[in-house]
Structure 1
Amino acid sequence: MAQRLGQISGHLSNIHSRGLLAGEVAIITGAAQGIGRSAAITFAREGAKVVVSDLDEKKAQLVVDEIKAFGGDAIAVGGDVSADEFPKKILDATISKYGKLNHIVNNAGFTYDKMLHTLPDDAWDIIQKVHVRAPFRLIRAAAPHMRIKGNTENRSIINVSSTSGLHGNIGQANYAAAKSAVIGLTKTIAKEWGPFGVRANAIAFGLVHTRLTQAKEEGAIIEIEGKKVALGIPGIGAGANQPGPKAYPLIPLARGASPDEAANGVLFLASSLASFVSGHTLEVTGGAGI
């Protein structure tokens, strides 16, 4: 018995030493900051070769520099995920550098909040384009590199959804619809690509402390198709940054998540720890929504 426990302990130690994603190649979009940045660094620390993609290529390169500083392997690919040429651009760069592709994490996105009765068509259309059309087009383009008979390597698609997609949210008709659509897309991929050994899962985040969830009054903006879009939650107030049931009455853990905590959920779905998990939506919410 002691010998068997020793073998198990040695096996787990060996897994840790080489990393959960050792030798695997992952594309992560929206990876210059927030959850995407944390996921890129987490994946690299677990042995993955990471394609760090973002609208801001200079910021993406800074993440690559961080990864290389601790001995990881990564490249930066800038570009707008919603652009027609984007899938070919990033896949060409990935295959040219690494020769294969194991994981796609469709993380890029933003919010463009308006109440339903004041929501203009362009605010609806751009959110669908970035959160639904862009992941679909990248996944479709990646089919020749992932949908391969007889390939036994660990391969997965991870699409970022949200509790807004599960339950709806005031002021987010466009975002909630898009994040709900992502779940349907994910389940379909799981059914179509499962026979080729490719897993597909979504991850629905609750409150994670990033620029999308900070106070809108702090002034974070993103420029999309020439328009400046304000990010954040209006009137959230300084007290929301302090943990406790009064600040977070709807979250049983009484706090929001850090980007690193969110990234750990993504890592789980990509890793072989989730080797028989497909078509699932993992809720990383601190218990909110139960």
Structure 2
Amino acid sequence: MKNMLENQVAIVTGSGRGVGRETALMLAEQGARVVVSDKDEAPAAEVVSEIKQKGGEAVLFCGDVTEADFAKKITETTISEFGRLDILVNNAGLTLDNMIHNMTDEQFYTILDIHLVAPFRLIREAAPYMRDAAKEEIEQGIVHHRKIINVSSVAGIRGNVGQANYASAKAGVIGLTKVVALEWGKFNINANAVAFGFIDTRLTKPKEEAEVIAGVQLGIPEKVRNMFIDKIPQKRPGDAKEAAAGILYLASPLSNYVNGQVLQINGGSYT
């Protein structure tokens, strides 16, 4: 199907790289006008440029999702540029791994802020343009589905060694998603989550090759990485496009009767 998202407007946080980048590109290919948001301007600007080169519409919004005014500012930019909001993808994320007995308060709360507090704030800020707009449409007999897709992880379902902060935040995202589905479902707003397994991104590269961000070495030790991969029935990590395809499905009309669900994208790895 082509142009499933024609005339719709989407926000995708953390869309300068990885899964977020592929999500922004896929939504644009289906006709959505996209607000590309990332903390780092250069990669996000490249995504905007690529969308425009392919004939799509996109704008850039740089910012840190943990800032108290981020949600307000990105929503205002979206409405100012495009006049509406139909799809919200809370994708921005980072890991600060440590064993629980060594984890600091800062490490714990930083990850909660990024993965749970930020999505909550953005959903709340979007209410006038999603929930309230839908109420007006319903009064006029118009049925238009809006979509909220929150990015969780299998760590939020079954836990993960060294990720007390990340697993807690991702479990919280699932709870948040289910509450939004219950509260806003009657307004034709579908709230769902994707829970990724091992996806090949900069966060899961071999530690020896991974980036350092804010003094933190990203990546996974090669030996541990191979151990994880060996447990996947498909014997490989997923790639960013495969992960983004799940988000596209939940953003599209194909999922209009899917609400409050967690779509696991994990290559069959459930243990």
1:126 alignment partner in structure 2 = 110
Whether 2:267 is the aligned partner of 1:286: answer: yes
Give the corresponding residue for 1:249.
Answer: 230
Query: CA RMSD for the aligned pairs?
Result: 1.4
Which deviations, in whole Å up to 9, do the C-alpha atoms of 1:18-74 show, x marking residues without a partner? Answer: x12111110000000000000000110111101000001222111000111111110
- Once the two structures are aligned, what percentage of the paired residues are identical? 50
Partner of 2:250: 269
User: In the aligned structure 2, how far is the partner of 1:175 from the partner of 1:137?
Assistant: 18
Could you tell me which of 22, 47, 50 is aligned with 1:38? 22
* SS of the residue 1:217 aligns to: coil
Partner SS state of residue 248, structure 1: helix
Q: Distance in 1 between matches of 2:212 and 2:20?
A: 17
Q: 1:229 maps to which residue? A: 216
Unaligned runs of 5+ in 1: 1-14, 241-245
**Residue of structure 1 in register with 2:38 after alignment:** 54
Residue segments in structure 2 that go unaligned for 5+ positions in a row? none
Equivalence for 1:243:
none
Residues 247 and 254, structure 1, Cα contact 8 Å, conserved in 2:
no
Counterpart amino acid of residue 66 in structure 1: E
Q: Does the 8 Å contact 1:102/1:153 carry over to 2?
A: no
Equivalent residue for 2:90, pick from 95, 103, 106: 106
Looking at structure 2, the residues matched to 108 and 229 of structure 1 have their Cα atoms a distance apart, in angstroms, of 17
Q: How high is the TM-score relative to the length of structure 2?
A: 0.94
> 1:222 Cα shift?
2.1
- What is the CA-CA distance between 1:247 and the residue it aligns to? 7.5
**Contact 1:221/1:230, CA 8 A, preserved across alignment:** yes
Describe how 1:57-72 pairs up with structure 2 within 5 A. Answer: 57-72=41-56
What code does the residue aligned with 2:159 have? G
Deviation track 1:105-143 (CA, whole Å, cap 9, x = no partner) reads 000011000011101110001000110000000100100
On the 8 A contact 2:203/2:210 being kept in 1, the answer is no
Determine the structure 2 residue equivalent to 1:192: 183
1:170 aligns with 2:179: no
Give the whole-Å Cα distance in 1 for the aligned partners of 2:217 and 2:124. Answer: 31
Q: Deviations over 1:215-238 (max 9, x none)?
A: 122241223xxxx2221112348x
Larger Rg: 1 or 2?
A: 1
Which letter does structure 1 place at the counterpart of 2:71? P
Three-state SS of the structure 1 residue aligned to 2:101 is: helix
Residue type of the alignment partner of 2:219: G
The question of 1:116 aligning with 2:93 is answered no
* Number of positions where the alignment pairs a residue of Structure 1 with one of Structure 2: 264
Kept in 1: contact 2:155–2:170 (CA 8 A) = yes
Q: Is the 8 A contact 2:8 2:33 kept in 1?
A: yes
Q: Deviations over 1:185-242 (max 9, x none)?
A: 000000000111100001000011100100122241223xxxx2221112348x84xx
Residues 154 and 271, structure 1, Cα contact 8 Å, conserved in 2: no
Q: 1:80-118: CA deviations, max 9, x gaps? A: 001011011101110011100001100001100001110
Q: Distance in 2 between matches of 1:108 and 1:58?
A: 16
1:209 is aligned, of 200, 206, 214, to 200
The alignment status of 1:218 with 2:209, answered yes or no, reads yes
Question: Alignment partner of 1:89: what SS?
Answer: helix
Rounded Cα–Cα distance in structure 2 between residues aligned with 1:43 and 1:192: 26
The one-letter code sitting in structure 2 at the alignment partner of 1:90 is: I
Separation of aligned partners in 1, 2:112 and 2:229: 29
The amino acid of 2:245's aligned partner reads: N
Q: 1:219 to 1:213 in 2, by over 3 A?
A: closer
State the distance in 1 between where 2:246 and 2:174 align.
Answer: 16
TM-score by length of 1: 0.88
